[in-house]
Structure 1
Amino acid sequence: MTAPAPQAGVAPGASPGETLAHALLDTASILRAGTGRFRVAPASPVSPARLLVLQSGLDRLARALGLPGPELVATPEGLTAAELAVGRRLAVGSASHPGNVGDAEDPAGPDLDDPAVAEAAHRARTAFPGPPVVLPARDGALLRCWAAGPPDAPAVAVVGACGMPVGLTVNWLAALSSRYRVVTWESRGLFATGEGAGPGSPVDHSVEAQSEDLLAVLDGFGIGRAHALGLCGGAVVALAAAARSERIDSLSLWHGDWELGDAAPKTTHQRDMESLLAMVARGPEQAAGMHLLLSRPSTLDGLRPDLAHYLIHPYTTPELLYRYGQLNGTLMTTDCRTLLTARQPTLVVTSDQDTTAHPAGSLYVARHLPSAELRTLPAGDHLGAFDARPHLVALAEEFLHSVTDHPRKDT
């Protein structure tokens, strides 16, 4: 029987400060995306005096975490979609939420060296999956990476959707790390890797470079071979890595976003995204113009509220949007039929209810890979694959058990 998975998120009974500290870290990719200070509004209207108290507590926690704390404003009017998404995740000032940091009778709020603030920051930093390890890619680009699970267990590389923070795949890390050595990373060139803000220098956005990152992550953690579990566009990266290296000894490709020419149809969402990414990838000026449109609050209308602060990340600044257009645009337009030579055992998973990535693409991939099996689930949308619900984890572990027969750590 599989041992209980580590807790992904805040443990029950956590203090208000710890829960807010965790929320700050959960939105850190956006808070560190640009040079300006983010604005967020309290969860409900508060008095000017209370706003100062909340700001003081928020600042102290942010400093303890080494993050640029957001600026509290009285109302959400005029805030961008990214600022609204962060504000909703922080929920500062909510009666049931940790945003109530500080004493309402004390305008100064708690002192930064208050043991409760320091302890809250420490617990948040060390909560699963822990702080990132910054590793070099093979071309020198810096990657934010994570590893969890027994070091000598069979390895699983979780390849998330392009441009998404690690929080979107953390449920998979938690579910699999009791039995496997699980590693993952965030997309090259889209996340701040140092102490400052911004994503650093531009990077190679080719499929080859992105697939090499998987192998570089294995190198960085001393892993010789691994199963690659790819989600959405991450399935393309996983397949590309398997096609170029036998170090990927098996695959599971979940709700893949495949370009297959006229061999398989695409959804309206896929076609719209391709057009958007092609437009913003033309240059910084085009990206800046589209960023103004995507910053409108209505952008959040189509996003799952509990995931919006992850999904909005690559739209946070014009520069991020430009790079996202290059990185994800390349993944969405590279003909994957050239990659269907990979002979590794492969599980292909989709659902007839996926209106984001057309299930016909996964059917084609499963039919043409030499050693693939297809599972078309009766229910479940695209984003639901990231939730790592028990029936999905059971399916993943069933396949993993069939292709990994003993613990190992190759060097």
Structure 2
Amino acid sequence: MLDSRTRAAVARLVTAVLSVKPLLDGIAAPVRVMPVAGDPAAPAARGPALDEVLRRVTRAAGVEGLALSPGLAAGDLQVFERVISDRLALAELPDSLAALPDELLDEVEEVAAAAVADGFDAYFHKETIRSPDGVPLTVYGAGQGETVVLIPACGMPAALTESWMRYLARDRRVLAWETRGLFDAADHHGDFAVDLATQAADLFTVLDHHGVASAHVIGLCGGAVMALAAAAAQPGRISSLSLWHGAYEFASGSPRTRFQNDLIELMALAARSRAAARSVQTAFCQVALTSTPAQVAHFVLYPYTGPELFYRYCRLNDSLARTDVGQYLTKVKQPTLVVTSLDDETAHPEGSRQVAGGLPNARLWMMPHGDHASLFHADDSLLRVAVDFIAEAVADSPAAPAPEDSRTE
């Protein structure tokens, strides 16, 4: 019988395998993974059962294309193979799992099946719907009660926000969708509408599909821009807004971080044509890899896995980055929480300050520290800020304009 440590290791491996599935979907199989850590001095995960354990875990997870390659060094792997190997962390598996006897392998499948059933795609019922212009939208939903819609960063797998969604689903209904044309879109060819109005309208497609008249909306990074545009377009359908670390553009001007400037310039170039996207994809991927924390790299690098995906991603983001959000502010009268930090080096905090200052019913929550990596893995103390704000709106006590708040919870 598997001991508790071994069972926990199997469940952890299943979670890791499921988390790299979007990345695997975008690259050609087989994908080689190393049974050792990136550090050459780290011990190897050895044992005749390791390959069979990985095979059974990937089968339970519905993931194909991983090939255990014990003879490789870290430098032999391609960029995405290295990211996936780091995520799976096979070297951290206990010896009891790497050398498991055959008679216990069936138990591995049982533990793996249970972990898959509690995984993101299963817990948050996944389905693909169509927008009015025929573009596929991958939608997730779980929970009961008042509806909260979470808009992830443009082009990022929804599972990047799993901590948010699980927290919200404790006592609410939470919905989310992934950016148009980038997920489950193999049968959708050619170009499609990428203007901000169309991207924002996907929110209402999701609400209509679930029969929801109105909802609270939380937007992260580029999702905050979409949330603003949606609230201005159909204010009666959005009860409150919570905008976190948004990357905003103003026709009147607003400071940008160096990262924003570089990103906007490169995406504008790649968005011109598929040929242009192909020419800069590799360089862009290397920049993204060096600036992305390892704990989220397997999600954040998804749009860079192929030239077509990268082209679509750049077109969508270029539209977000170049739309003047100032046009929406006077139209958005819902209670709004605007959150950023003084040291966000990804999206300049001054943009959030301008948004909060231009909205008639907004509160600015300016934290002393925080960045996009910590945002995507927010702990309960930070998530309570969003939940408490929603509770205020539900109690019909909208947050009135208030001085900047530099506290952290």
Instruction: Work out whether the TM-score is over 0.5.
Output: yes
What TM bracket, shorter-length normalisation?
A: 0.7 to 0.9
1:1-400 correspondence runs (5 A): 14-44=7-37, 53-73=49-69, 74-96=72-94, 100=97, 103=100, 114-128=106-120, 129-150=123-144, 153-192=145-184, 198=186, 200-202=188-190, 203-245=192-234, 246-296=236-286, 299-340=288-329, 341-400=331-390
Count of matched residue positions in the alignment of Structure 1 and Structure 2 = 383
Aligned-pair CA distance for 1:314: 1.0
Distance 1:242 1:322, change over 3 A: same
Q: 1:227 to 1:17 in 2, by over 3 A?
A: same
Residues 299 and 141 (structure 1), Cα distance of their counterparts in 2 relative to 1, 3 Å cut? closer
* SS of 2:90 mapped into structure 1: coil
> Helix, strand or coil: the match of 2:76?
coil
CA-to-partner distance for each residue in 1:2-23, whole Å, 9 max, x for gaps? Answer: xxxxxxxxx9984433322221
- Report SS of the residue matched to 1:314: helix
Look up the equivalent residue of 1:81 and give its one-letter code.
Answer: V
> Using the alignment, how far apart are the partners of 1:333 and 1:383 within structure 2?
24
Deviation digits for residues 63-114 of structure 1, max 9, x if unmatched? Answer: 332222312332222323222111111112434499x5664x77xx987xx3
Contact 1:17–1:101 (Cα < 8 Å) also in 2: no
The equivalent of 2:403 in structure 1 is none
Relative contact order (alpha carbons < 8 A, sep ≥ 6): 1 or 2 greater?
1
Change in CA separation of 1:390 and 1:18 when aligned onto 2, cut-off 3 Å? closer
What RMSD over aligned residues (CA atoms) do the two structures have, in Å? Answer: 2.9
**Distance apart, 1:260 and its partner CA:** 0.7
Aligned counterparts of 2:198 and 2:98: Cα–Cα separation in 1? 44
Quick one: distance in 1 between partners of 2:292 and 2:47? Answer: 28
In 1, the alpha carbon distance for the partners of 2:225 and 2:45 equals 52
Which one has the bigger helix percentage? 2
Distance (Å, rounded) in 1 between the aligned partners of 2:230 and 2:350: 22
Q: List runs of 5+ in structure 1 lacking aligned partners.
A: 1-10, 407-411
How much does 1:38 deviate? 2.2
How far is 1:61 from its partner? 2.4
Q: For residues 200 and 35 of structure 1, do their structure 2 counterparts lie closer, same or farther at Cα, with a shift above 3 Å needed?
A: farther
Post-superposition offset of 1:139: 2.2
Partners of 1:95 and 1:116 lie apart in 2 by 13
